[in-house]
Amino acid sequence: MSKRPSPISLAWFGLAALLALTGCAPTLNLKAARTPSYATSIQTPTPLKSQLALHLPAGQSGFHLLADGKAALAARLALAQHATRTIDVQYYLFHNDTTGKLVASALLAAAERGVRVRLLIDDIDTADKEVGLATLNAHPNIQIRLFNPFHTRSANIFVRGWQALSDSVRLNRRMHNKVFIADNQLGITGGRNIGDEYFDAHDEFTFVDLDVLAAGAIVDKMSQSFDQYWNNNSAVPASALPVEKGEIRLQRATRLLHQLRAKLLGGERGTALTVADPLPKLLSGVTPWNIAPADLIVDPPDKVLNPDQLTSTLMIGQLAGLWVDPTRRALIVSPYFVPGPFGLAYFRYWRHQGVQIDVLTNAYAASDVPVVHAGYANYRIPLLENGINLYELKPVAEPTGGRLRNLGSGSSRASLHAKTFVFDDEHVFIGSFNFDPRSALLNTEMGLVIHSHELARQVTAIVEDAMRPERSYQPRLVIEKNEPTRLQWRDVHQGIERLSDLEPDTTPTQRGLLRVLQALPIEEHL
């Protein structure tokens, strides 16, 4: 009878096989040429500049909220269509779904008109997109770079997992910035990545999200930020991918993308996007811009390589340096909300100053990342004990005639993805920053702080509608004599108030998993 191998022997064999698999995988050419390039001057004459000059005072900035998913996608497609010199695009995720192909086709059409297109994507989700990226990069007017890439190129989950473990300090830090800029005149930033679920185009699921369209002087700051990332050593050109150039492949991709675009825009979806597009009315003056001063706050790109960056150089330090702390009310929206001891201390200080604090985040049933919800769950009781009001967005809204689904409509299930806050009805942040340790200390983030009462009013109205008991659960404390403090959730369902002593819309298995996740010592990575 042969002797069965021991578990240790099997583990060593598996490790050896994994190392062999990794060794056989192709690698990135880190010596690939990366010529620096920069945004065109904001003073360069373009049709967009001329149109904006009619409705935007020189040297000032204008803003327009993009709460509706269709409007947010239409605006991006319109920027690509109106650009005559440059398009700069920077995203954490760029899916290869219908929306991704529609945006790629718009960028390709601009490149064929002679527009220089620069596309910078974080490398967290490009393993199965290498051929497509290399194909577009072969166009003479399109340049694509991957930020903080995996050096061994493989779609195999075990190979990528091994890399993530062996190079964890670097690969655990991702570029989460999101920006879309045309001719250094108009730019979009906010919470949305490029994919169906971000633009109300998914059949079963949507992210409730928020972007802002910016015009004028602030866009030059956004372009300067893009240039810093584009020319950073962590941005590796797509020509470094182990994929051969293919002119025939580019021709075929161009034909297929344009056919898809013509089909989509020629049907009902195209009509809906045309109706939703805010740009024609903004450029003609029918819809006025919200003209206001603003600050761009953005992490330095070296945050991914240097864990010891001074806090003052990070986005959270820049925000503190603006001196916009609330004196009356702080309205905070974050899908992944893990305040940590530092954030909790800040909230306690604000409460001692008499500031009302309202937080909208995801309910457990609505969250797409349960482990992050577990981090939030550990802080619920301390937050409530300190007088912070919590609201947890439901996965399915009731048809009460409210406006929540202006943030994302037409889907049976939704998850909050917007990242925004309003201080004292005067200062509005819109960007990529989640109120959690990952955004604060690991990933790079960006956002605009806009000093506008009107914009603050608009964002507040949207958020307060989402906080309604038909839309959100409101956890509260139950304090009984000789019993530990516990949670209870209140909401309204079909016009009737409900109280629940259990996490709403969850199964016993889900609640058991949450308790396990809450016990894990991983808060700093959330």
Catalytic residue list contains 82? no
Q: Which residue has the tokens 């060593």?
A: 12
Beta 142-147 vs 116-122: how paired, if at all?
Answer: parallel
What is the rounded average pLDDT of the residues 56-78? Answer: 97
Catalytic residue list contains 70? no
Pairwise pLDDT comparison (315 vs 6), residue with the higher score:
315
Tell me the pLDDT band of 507, cut-offs 50, 70 and 90.
very high
CATH topology assigned to domain 293-525? Endonuclease; Chain A (3.30.870)
What local confidence, expressed as pLDDT, does residue 239 receive? 93
What local confidence, expressed as pLDDT, does residue 23 receive? 55
pLDDT reading at 251 higher than 50: yes
Question: One of 70, 101, 178, 303 is an active-site residue; which one?
Answer: 178
Whether this model's pTM surpasses 0.85? yes
Q: What are phi and psi of 261, to 5 degrees?
A: -65, -45
The pLDDT > 90 percentage for the chain reads: 76
H helices, E strands: number in the chain = 18, 21
Catalytic residue list contains 183? yes
- Kindly report which listed range (195-199, 250-254, 440-444) carries the lowest average pLDDT score: 250-254
Residue 150's Cβ-count burial label (10 Å; 0-12, 13-18, 19+) is: buried
Into which CATH architecture does domain 28-33+50-284 fall? 2-Layer Sandwich (3.30)
Question: One of 55, 82, 373, 417 is an active-site residue; which one?
Answer: 417
User: How far apart are the C-alpha atoms of 290 and 274, rounded to whole Å?
Assistant: 22
pLDDT reading at 68 higher than 70: yes
Enumerate the domain spans of the chain. Answer: 28-33+50-284, 293-525
Q: What would the pLDDT profile of 17-66 be if each residue is shown by its tens digit?
A: 444 445 567 899 988 888 999 999 999 999 999 999 999 999 999 999 99
What local confidence, expressed as pLDDT, does residue 5 receive? 52
Q: Under DSSP, is residue 521 helix (H, G, I), strand (E, B) or coil?
A: coil
Q: What would the pLDDT profile of 138-193 be if each residue is shown by its tens digit?
A: 999 999 999 999 998 887 888 888 888 888 889 999 999 999 999 999 999 999 99
Catalytic residue list contains 178? yes
Whether 243 and 32 have beta carbons less than 8 Å apart is answered as no
- Kindly report which listed range (181-195, 298-312, 333-347) carries the lowest average pLDDT score: 298-312
- Measured CA to CA in angstroms, residue 211 lies from 69, 190, 208, 419, 423 at distances of 9, 4, 11, 9, 18
pLDDT reading at 3 higher than 70: no
Question: One of 68, 122, 183, 358 is an active-site residue; which one?
Answer: 183
Question: One of 97, 424, 425, 505 is an active-site residue; which one?
Answer: 424
Contacts of 17 (CB under 8 A, 6+ apart): none
Catalytic residue list contains 505? no
Question: One of 419, 427, 465, 491 is an active-site residue; which one?
Answer: 419
Q: Which residue has the tokens 């920027």?
A: 79
What local confidence, expressed as pLDDT, does residue 412 receive? 59
Specify whether the backbone of 59 is left (phi greater than 0), alpha (psi in -120 to 50) or beta: left
pLDDT reading at 6 higher than 60: no
pLDDT reading at 514 higher than 80: yes
Assess whether the region 28-33+50-284 and the region 293-525 belong to the same CATH fold.
Answer: yes
Catalytic residue list contains 202? no
What local confidence, expressed as pLDDT, does residue 8 receive? 47
Q: What would the pLDDT profile of 402-441 be if each residue is shown by its tens digit?
A: 444 444 344 458 999 999 999 999 999 999 999 999 999 9
Beta 356-362 vs 329-333: how paired, if at all?
Answer: parallel
User: How far apart are the C-alpha atoms of 49 and 186, rounded to whole Å?
Assistant: 9
pLDDT reading at 11 higher than 50: no
Whether 207 and 464 have beta carbons less than 8 Å apart is answered as no
Pairwise pLDDT comparison (265 vs 452), residue with the higher score:
452
What local confidence, expressed as pLDDT, does residue 1 receive? 44
User: How far apart are the C-alpha atoms of 376 and 387, rounded to whole Å?
Assistant: 16
What is the rounded average pLDDT of the residues 300-326? Answer: 90
pLDDT reading at 392 higher than 80: yes
Tell me the pLDDT band of 398, cut-offs 50, 70 and 90.
low
Helices (H), 45-97: 47-53, 69-82
What local confidence, expressed as pLDDT, does residue 123 receive? 95
What local confidence, expressed as pLDDT, does residue 71 receive? 97
Question: One of 95, 101, 129, 176 is an active-site residue; which one?
Answer: 176
